[in-house]
Amino acid sequence: MFRFSTLLSRVAVAALLGSMLVLAGCHRGNAKDDAAHLSQLQRQFDATVQAYKNGQFIMDGAVLSATDLSGHFSYLKDQGKLPKTVLLTSSDDSKVRKVHLQFMARLQIDYGFVVYYEQKGNLVKIDAVDTKARDLEDYQAPKAAPDQPPPTPNHSQGY
């Protein structure tokens, strides 16, 4: 039978443990770190809003239009619980788009809180002037042509 010397076996075990430590140090665990990083970010903010499809938002599990979200913040303001900082994140269905930033810029102007969003791993503060805040209307009717008067209703016919 072939026997290793005690010194050689100890060196082999030390080399094996050292290589395991080196490989463990190279692994960053990005999948776990990203989830932990996002949860740490959310704890630093007073409110978290997710971007959803067609310029809508998700807050506390409910899909809200920009007008509904404004109504929610108005209610919080009336109750004295308006957040000072808001984090806008992407949801599973949509990423943060320009329209979301424009609506949040409008809410930032109206209610005075600060909105941040994550862009390529960095937190960015929404600047209401540069973002060109958008009006909070769900539907805007097309404007009548200026050279034609609006149609007058005919009240002479009865029902």
Within the chain, which residues score under 70 in pLDDT? 1-4, 21-42, 132-151, 155-159
Cα–Cα distance between 136 and 106 in angstroms, integer?
A: 7
- Structural domains in the chain, CATH included, are 41-137 (3.30.420)
Q: Which two tokens stand for residue 96?
A: 């943060």
Note the pLDDT tens digit of each residue in 23-54: 666 655 554 555 555 556 667 888 899 999 88
pLDDT score recorded for residue 31: 47
Helix/strand/coil for 131: helix
Cα–Cα distance between 81 and 58 in angstroms, integer?
A: 19
pLDDT score recorded for residue 5: 74
102 Cα distance to chain centroid: 13
Q: Mean pLDDT in the chain? A: 77
